[in-house]
Amino acid sequence: MRLACLAFLALALASASVLAAPAAPVDKTKAPSAEEAAKMAAAAPAQARARPEKPRRLLVVSISPGFWHDSIPYGKKAIEAMAKKTGAFEAVVSDDLANFEPQSLAKFDAVVFNNTNNEFFLPENYEQLSGAEKEAADKRDAALKKSFSEWLAGGKGLVLLHVGIGSFRKWPEFGEIGGARFDGHPLGKRIATMKVDDPAHPLAAAFKTPTFEVLDEIYQVSDPYSRDKLRVLVSIDTTKTDMNVKGINRKDGDFGMVWVKPYGKGRVFFSAFGHVHDLFWNPMILQHWLDGIQFALGDLKADTTPSAKAAGKR
């Protein structure tokens, strides 16, 4: 009996030490394998849906203080693969914040927030800075946000992939820019059924069936999300997806996953997909993202009339 108790105690202590051990640091340099990159290149559309009106430059930004998605390198590689294969745009993959200075940002037609997160215009060690350093960081943060919002409203484009919608959580205006706020993923990573809400829309053309299943980390968003403001193209089919989980905050049953909207004269495209690696060589998803990128760049024309208003016209 005494030996059994000692064995149990040893096992409990070992388990506690494992649970208390700090998480291994994320390897942000790990890139897709050669085999995975080849699958992306093969799955990328052979040509863009719209012919570019002029040479296009796309800035791909992937800064993510706090939680860092290991799918970020996959997003970079997939976008580069689509750019190379279709010739529809030049992809500039860079996390240099100098690109958001007005004179630099003017050289781009659109920006992709590739799983960006939180206040990424601020240094990641912001809380450890001195008072003077924080003041300087805050001043630059405000200047870059002003530069970015004015550039976008002036007629440029923004693509938000997955947690890109969770960027700038302390900046009120970004809720209006993106059209919603990230509100967790109570459904977790699972196979969920999606419904195509607007099948005739150009940015829904990649989806060939009224519903489809996707394995991904499934998001929930909150205000200012509204079909009175957004053209919602895809949402969760709640009749075919188990929604009986803790953490569901929406009371209206409306879980938008893909939408477009204007911001001033600019164009915004959001796709909640982008967590599970297999999506980055899924031909349907790559076509979907390419269409969204071309919309943001200004080449694929698409109506951004909010869903509620558009439904009234039909």
The pLDDT value given to residue 21: 40
79 assigned to some structural domain: yes
Question: What's at 232, amino acid-wise?
Answer: V
Q: What is the CATH number of the domain that holds 102?
A: 3.40.50.880
5 assigned to some structural domain: no
pTM above 0.95, yes or no: no
The CA–CA distances, whole Å, from 28 to 65, 68, 70, 74 equal 12, 8, 7, 11
Q: Is it the case that residue 286 has pLDDT exceeding 80? A: yes
Q: State what percent of residues in the chain have pLDDT above 90.
A: 81
155 assigned to some structural domain: yes
19 assigned to some structural domain: no
pLDDT band at residue 313, thresholds of 50, 70 and 90?
A: low
Mean of pLDDT over the chain? 91
Q: Give residue 89's Cα distance to chain centre.
A: 19
96 assigned to some structural domain: yes
Determine the Cα–Cα distance for residues 89 and 10; give it in Å rounded to an integer. 60
Q: Is it the case that residue 102 has pLDDT exceeding 70? A: yes
Chain segment 51-86, per-residue pLDDT in tens:
999 999 999 999 998 887 898 999 999 999 999 999
Look at the block and give the residue holding tokens 């999300």. Answer: 225
Look at the block and give the residue holding tokens 């009224």. Answer: 210
Residues in the chain: 314
The pLDDT value given to residue 133: 97
The pLDDT value given to residue 311: 82
Chain segment 182-224, per-residue pLDDT in tens:
888 988 889 999 999 999 999 999 999 999 999 998 989 989 9
3 assigned to some structural domain: no
Query: How many separate domains does the chain show?
Result: 1
CB of 266 closer than 8 Å to CB of 149: no
The pLDDT value given to residue 25: 61
Rounded average pLDDT over 299-305: 98
20 assigned to some structural domain: no
Domain that holds residue 142: 31-313
Q: Is it the case that residue 244 has pLDDT exceeding 80? A: yes
Chain segment 9-33, per-residue pLDDT in tens:
444 434 343 333 444 567 777 889 9
Q: Is it the case that residue 277 has pLDDT exceeding 90? A: yes
- Three-state secondary structure string covering the chain: CHHHHHHHHHHHHHHHHHHHCCCCCCCCCCCCCHHHHHHHHHHCCCCCCCCCCCCCEEEEECCCCCCCCCCHHHHHHHHHHHHHHHCCCEEEECCCHHHHCHHHHCCCCEEEEECCCECCCCCCCHHHCCHHHHHHHHHHHHHHHHHHHHHHHCCCEEEEEHHHHHECCCCHHHHHHHCCEECCCCCCEEEEEEEECCCCCHHHCCCCCCEEEEEEECCCEECCCCCCCCEEEEEECCCCCCCCCCCCCCCCCCCEEEEEEEECCEEEEEECCCCCHHHHHCHHHHHHHHHHHHHHHCCCCCCCCCHHHHHHHC
Q: Is it the case that residue 87 has pLDDT exceeding 70? A: yes
300 assigned to some structural domain: yes
Which of 5-14, 169-178, 261-270 is the least confident region? 5-14
